[in-house]
Amino acid sequence: MKKVISIFIIAIILCIVTYNITKNPKKNILALGDGICLANSIYDVEGHSFNHYIKDYYHEKKLLNYFNDEFCKSNLTLKELNTIILENKQINKQSIQYLLDNADLLTIAIGFDELKSHSKLTNQIKKDFLNDYAILISNIMDMTNAKILVIGYYPNYFKDAIEISKKLQAIVENRNLDYINIEEVSKNKEYFYDINQSNLNIKGHKEIFNKLVPYL
Nearest to 103 by CA among 61, 58, 60: 58
**Is residue 109 within 8 Å of residue 34, measured between CB atoms?**
yes
How much is the pTM?
0.86
CA atoms 168, 173, 179, 185: torsion sign: positive
pLDDT computed for residue 3 by the predictor: 55
Could you give the domains of the chain?
Answer: 26-215 (3.40.50.1110)
CA atoms 124, 126, 129, 134: torsion sign: negative
**35-50 burial string, b = 16+ CB within 10 Å, else e?**
bbbbbbbeeeeeebbb
Alpha-carbon 173 to chain mean position? 14
Tens-binned pLDDT, residue by residue, of the chain (216 aa): 555 555 555 546 554 544 444 456 999 999 999 999 998 766 566 789 999 999 999 999 999 999 999 999 999 999 999 999 999 999 999 999 999 999 999 999 999 889 988 888 999 999 999 999 999 999 999 999 999 999 999 887 667 889 999 999 999 999 999 999 999 988 899 999 887 778 899 999 999 999 999 999
Q: Backbone phi, then psi, for 179, in 5-degree steps?
A: -105, 130
Nearest to 81 by CA among 127, 146, 29, 37: 37
**Is residue 94 within 8 Å of residue 102, measured between CB atoms?**
no
Rounded Cα gap, residues 73 and 32, in angstroms: 8
pLDDT computed for residue 69 by the predictor: 97
